[in-house]
Every structure is written in structure tokens, then in C-alpha cells.
Amino acid sequence: MPSRTLIQAAAEGADLVEWYYAQGFTDGLPVVPPTPEKVEAAVVALGGEGGLAECRVPPRWGSLTREVLAVNMVMAGCLPEYAPVVRAAMLALCDPRFNLNGVQATTHVACPLLVVNGPVRGRIGMNAGCNVFGPGNRANATIGRAVRLVLLNVGGGRPGDLDKSTLGHPGKYTYCIAENEEASPWAPYHVEQGYAPEDSTVFAIAAEAPHSVTNHVADDPEGVLDSVCSAMSTIAHNNAVSSGSCAVVIGPEHAATIGAKGWTRADVKSYLWAHTTNTFADISFHGRYGKIYNRNLPRWYRREPGERIPIVPSPDDIHLFVAGGEAGRFSAFIPGWGHMTGPVLRALDGRPPAGGPVCVDGTCRL
């Protein structure tokens, strides 16, 4: 991406919105002109040294320098203080475990979902509450959009070219939320994974769109979670046929119902894993198309008609968050892409968890 050309065009007073459309630098929506002043402020927020390469972005393997990252941040509408979150997100996505090359080029709908934890949520004004997946919050919207612009402009993931997604989904414009730690009966996700409460992190998972789970009647954990299990138990999403990881977002009202009975985060994940109901007969269409041996599923799954086929290999492959508004008994299941990708959790400063898991079963509280 020729960042100097972009900045020069801005300085020369061209009809910038139309010029960027003509260059193909947008996501289909108008972008903010990357003036030299705005770009420099973003570069400073990234630590200076605009020519420093942070990573290379597949599938085109373009070099993401700090200046190029700053340009895309500005075009997306980011404030400079969002810079550490955007950078951490891109470094998580470019981790080999994530397989961004595959996610960018797949025919599946999957795209990166980002979940932010820690004090940075409040510092930059992220939304973890009402309408958490929807519009209305600058930080959520523009952080996710900046990542998408980088995937387009640096990674070359353009629809019909290197991006071969048959359908896509609206999260490919922006797909970024914060966990509602304050409404959760459990430790924040990043604390469960071994980080300190004062650390800030970005979690990245290749994911489909959220599938709403409605339950307005249950007053016990089992009732709420049975509804989530119902949403998870289908042969139509990639986890059913390709295993891997998925995400579950528990709304605050459902979380309060579950937490009031003393259930831990580990209890919830174990229940969800144990009570999904696909059978090998289901996912093999009862032999209608001949004998099927699905090599995308783990080898230890028993490929016999009545055997239960887990949605994901273990409870730890269900990534559980609390998010959303305080009113409404809704949660969401978010299928992943399958075993072809691995979720990545990264601290904003790049540090690993200090001293290993702090809250493995989710019982500790802030």
C-alpha cells in the first residue's frame, strides 16, 4: 500500500473520498482522508519509527509498517489511542497458529472476531454492553474496520480476487467487541487464561456471525444452557464437520442466572461440551451418499452411527465470554472455521501470561 502516495494526495487537496474509491483502498464505505498530521499522530501512538515493519499480512504477504498501519487506522476513523489495540490485533492474526492465509482465502464465511479485555476497554471507551455487536461505538467500529482495511490493502484479501468467500457476512466490515467484565459472575476471560486483571489483551478467533439464543423462562443454569446447546447442535456449521474452536457469548441476565447457582466458567463449558447432540449418523447423512470417513474430525471420534460427535474436541475449545446489555435474556453461539485455524490471545504489550494460569476454573473474581 503506497502510504506516501495517500498522504501526498491528501495534502494536494484532491477529492479524496472519490480518489480512494478509484484506487480500491476502501471497504466499500467512505474513508477518512489520511492527512499527514493524523498519520503522524497515529505513528507516534504506535511508538514512532514509521518504517518499522510489525508483520507481514497474508495472502499477499504485504509488509505492515507502522506508517501503513497508521494510514489504515486513520482511514478507518480510529483515534490515536486505539493504536495499541489495532496493532495487537494484527499481530494476533498474523501469528502462524491463526492461519490468516487460509481465513483470508477460504470460501467459508469466517472472518476474524476480536474480543478485548482489561483496562484498555474503559480507557478508549469500548462498548461491552447494549448492542455490543451492533453500531454506535466509535472504538469498537473503527478498530475492527482498521483491521479489515489492513486485510484488504496490505493482505490483498479482496472479494473475488484472493478472498474467495462464497457469502461472507457483515462482520467482514468490522467485528470487534469488549467483554463485559463488570457484569460477569466469573473472572475476565484473559484472567482465566493466566493474565493479571490489570493486563489488557486482544483475543482473535475466525468466526461466523453470532447466532442468537433466546431463553426467557429458565431460572436454572441447565435450562439456559440447554438453549445454547440447541443452537450448537446442528450439522450446518463448520465445527460440526471440521471440529476446531468456537465462541459462546453469555448475556448478563443469563450469566446472572447461571452464576447465582454457583456454576463456574469451567462448569458452563463442560456442560455445553457434554450436551451437544450431533451423532455420526447425522453428520454422515445416515449413509445416504455412501460410507463417509471425515478426515477433518479428530481421529479419536468413533465413526459409528449412534456415536455422539462433539462440536469441538474439548471444553477448552469453547471460548466463553460475558457481553451485552443488562436487559434481555439473550446469549449467542458463534461457530468457528474449524481445525484449520487456532484462536490467539495476545497482550497489548506482547507479554505472555505471568506464571501460568491464574484462574483455570473461572472461580476467582476481581
Q: Are 117 and 204 in contact (CB under 8 A)?
A: no
State if pTM tops 0.85: yes
For range 243-266, the mean pLDDT: 97
> What mean pLDDT, rounded, does the chain reach?
93
Residue 10 placed within a domain: yes
Residue 303 placed within a domain: no
Residue 366 placed within a domain: no
Among all chains, which residue has been given the C-alpha cell 483496562? 119
For range 251-260, the mean pLDDT: 98
Provide the domain count of the chain. Answer: 1
Residue 286 placed within a domain: no
Domain enclosing residue 18, as ranges = 3-276+311-347
Residue 362 placed within a domain: no
For range 31-59, the mean pLDDT: 97
Residue 359 placed within a domain: no
For 334-358, the pLDDT digits (tens) are 999 999 999 999 999 998 887 655 5
C-alpha cell at 307: 456415536
Write the DSSP assignment of 168-205 as a string of letters.
--GGGT--EEE--GGG-SS--HHHHTT--TT--EEEEE
Query: What is residue 366's predicted lDDT score, i.e. its pLDDT?
Result: 37
Residue 8 placed within a domain: yes
Reduced to 3 states (helix: H, G, I; strand: E, B; else coil), residue 80 is helix
- What pLDDT band is residue 8 in, cutting at 50, 70 and 90? low
Contacts of 137 (CB under 8 A, 6+ apart): 125, 126, 127
Query: What is residue 14's predicted lDDT score, i.e. its pLDDT?
Result: 74
Among all chains, which residue has been given the C-alpha cell 464437520? 241
Pairing, β 176-178 against β 330-334: unpaired
Pairing, β 176-178 against β 111-117: parallel
Residue 285 placed within a domain: no
CA distances from 270 to 11, 225, 317 (A): 57, 11, 10
For 263-316, the pLDDT digits (tens) are 999 999 999 999 998 999 998 888 888 876 677 888 888 888 888 999 999 999
Among all chains, which residue has been given the C-alpha cell 489483551? 201
C-alpha cell at 141: 467500529
For 184-194, the pLDDT digits (tens) are 999 999 999 99
